Chains A and B, each alone.
Chain A
Amino acid sequence: MGRVALTRVTKRFGEVTAVSDITLEVEDQEFLVLLGPSGCGKSTVLRLIAGLESPTDGSIEIGDRVVNGVEPKERDVAMVFQSYALYPQMTARRNIEFPLKNQRTPKLERARRVEEVAETLELTEVLDRRPAQMSGGQRQRVALARAIVRRPEAFLMDEPLSNLDAKLRTQTRTELIELQRRLATTVVYVTHDQVEGMTMGHRVAVMENGVIQQVGAPTEIYDHPANLFVAGFIGNPPMNVLTGLPTSEDGRLAIETPGGGIPLTAPQQDAVRRSGATQVAVGVRPEHIRLDEDGPLRASVAVIEALGYENHVVCRLEDGQQVIVRLRAEVAAPREGDKVHLGAEPRRLHLFDATTGARIGT
């Protein structure tokens, strides 16, 4: 039904390749987040699904039909824009009604559906106002209402929360999730905000340079990033990454970094050997680093960022590289200037081939 599938889709604008050979399937009733930095091609993917752009290559399916060449209005998808794209001269009611009017829905039916949607989204009071007379949150909900009222097979949302202030954004985020569960429709949601990505989607597709880097459940992406880009993009503060040479001592392999040698477990050693990587990037999430007398890394504490519920200890290795350690507030933090040793459980380490960025091992 509300399935959306892209098969080997490429989109080029002249010389620029915005989307490169993407294959992606969004299941019916799934909430899929397209996550990536600006300019990574995620919005183009959305516009390709909507029919606002035509793919240079590949096929796009919505429901069970191929929609290449089908006009946007006949694709049965609705879109919510970052700018909301409300028609400035129309009241909220006429904005919401507009798609129905164009479908020649009978007047009574139209009124009924507008009222219904307005009630769901608590817009009844502002129905006769124009966008300029509404708050940002109300505008956002009108844009949503205009999409919902059509009862489309799939919703396409392009950063719909990024024009709201921080507090309202968090609140609306939750409401959107609830709404999606209630309406049980397919949503493709584009954002550059990893928090939205992690919290809203059943699955997240991380994009960079027009290519999908990894698709998976939020936890999977967090715990097993497929490559250095995903590892660095997801997580705040970001994952610490130290690059070094694999060196063998007594048959045991360690990664020699500027802060000291990092020991690996036996399976990890095997994986590194098999990968044939000449340089290895070792990633550790800040919450997995410990201050440890016996730790292999020597560092000094540069800054302590106290957030109340936790502390971020920003350390510097000898060569100036930065390592962030996340400590629960109850744990005693060192003082700025202290010399410390850092360590981590080997199973918490993420290994990547520093040249290709690909993950080593599982």
Chain B
Amino acid sequence: MSVTAPPEHLDAHGRAESPPERPPARARSRAARSPRRRRTLEVLLAYGLLLPSLLVFAVFVFYPLVRQIYLSFFLTPPFPGEPKHYAGLSQIQQVLTSHDFLNSLWVTVLFVLYTVPAGLVLGLLLAVLAHQQLRGIRFFRTVFSSTVATSVAVASVIFFTLLNPQIGLFSYWFGRTGQLSVLDDPRLALLAVSVVTVWQNLGLAFIVMSAGLQAVPDDLLEASRVDGAGPWTRLRHVILPMLSPTLFFAIVVGSILSLEAFGQIDILTSGGPLQHTNVLVYAIYDQVFNQNNQGRAAVMTVALFLITLVFTLIQIRLLERRVTYER
């Protein structure tokens, strides 16, 4: 029943219970048997506690992952019930070199480039402005973090209406009433989707940056003030360096969020116009539900997984380091 988990290298497996020299018979049997039973119970309890999670993971995370990889080697006919054909690497090669896939990849990269740096800069700007002792600053903090409470769907529907070519307020303001909608304009659609995304993620960016700023020790700021540094110098040479882990974290998390963006595309543009907003995730969805081609979708899914994997590995690295070593 030990509740103490010793540091890994100190693990003293059962050996400690070697029988002492000539103990009374009753004590001896206790010393020899009960610890082993106790350890068995502890192990059983541990597996019992992990079981629910492991079941969910096995069925809904690892099995699908393996199946996607498996499926990417097969041609799947669009009609259910027909047999799959093993295609080896040919389908993978064909998909990866196809115009559609490369386009989706390019759109995804562009989308990440449009959203991540902008979100980062705006979030930092808001955080720096809100990071001072002013009357009513709490109100501004709440306002700046407010978009956290808008789900992707809410944000998308709001902007979808505001950008409506007939009645949308933004269409009117930008003098585009009655013209082609921004969302249907091949040159502007992805940009518009990006703006919506940046706006929706602004609250999160603000909160993360604020927390990072709070971690900058006050005496450091005071020291730099005493040393005669102006606000700009302070930002550049004191705050930003101290903030760099947070910035890095925000870049990684922001990239993952953008890589996995789906709702705003589905509601705002459905991947159009002319595939100009057809990011990878939407292309996968499209393959499955509109083109009925699971094999192709699987290849793209595996590609998406590999890209996400790189970012997530970095993220876990960061999490582990920060969370464990800061104590």
- Does A65 contact B27, Cβ atoms closer than 8 Å? yes
* B12 pairs with A68, CB closer than 8 A: no
A14 and B9 in contact (CB under 8 A), knowing A69-B30, A70-B30?
yes
- Residues 57-76 of A contacting B (Cβ, < 8 Å): 57-60, 65-71
- Max count, chain B CB within 10 A of own CB: residue among A56, A65, A69: A69
Distance A52 CA – B34 CA, assembled complex (angstroms):
16
On chain B, the residues within 8 Å of A71 by CB distance are 1, 34, 38
A69 contacts which of B9, B24, B31 (Cβ < 8 Å)? B31
Main secondary structure of the interface of A (DSSP, over half): loop
How far does the Cβ of B36 sit from chain A's closest Cβ, in whole Å? Answer: 9
CB of B50 closer than 8 Å to a CB of A:
no
Report the interface size class on chain B.
Answer: 20 to 34
Which A residues, 231 to 290, have Cβ-Cβ distances below 8 Å to chain B? none
CA distance A66 to B12 in the complex (A): 20
Query: Please, which residues of chain A bring their CB within 8 A of the CB of B24?
Result: 65-66
| Complex contact A68–B23 (CB within 8 A) | yes
**Is the C-beta of B17 less than 8 angstroms from some C-beta in chain A?**
yes
CA A53 to CA B10, docked complex, whole Å = 11
* Inter-chain contact B38/A7, CB cutoff 8 Å: no
CA distance A9 to B48 in the complex (A): 36
Contact of A56 among B9, B16, B19, B21 (CB under 8 A): B16
Tell me which residues across on chain B come within 8 A of A69, comparing CB atoms. 17, 30-32, 34-35
A68 touches B38 (CB 8 A): no
Q: Are B12 and A59 touching (Cβ within 8 A)?
A: no
Say yes or no: is B18 at the interface (Cβ < 8 Å to chain A).
yes
A57–B18 Cα distance when bound, in Å, is 7
Q: A54 with B20: in contact, given A14-B10, A71-B1 (CB under 8 Å)?
A: no
Known: A68-B23, A69-B31. 17 other contacts (CB 8 A): A13-B10, A52-B4, A53-B12, A54-B12, A54-B17, A54-B35, A56-B12, A56-B15, A66-B20, A66-B23, A66-B28, A68-B17, A68-B20, A69-B30, A69-B32, A69-B35, A70-B31
Residues of A within 8 A of B (CB): 7-8, 13-14, 52-60, 65-71
Closest 4 CB pairs of A and B: A59-B20, A54-B16, A69-B31, A66-B23
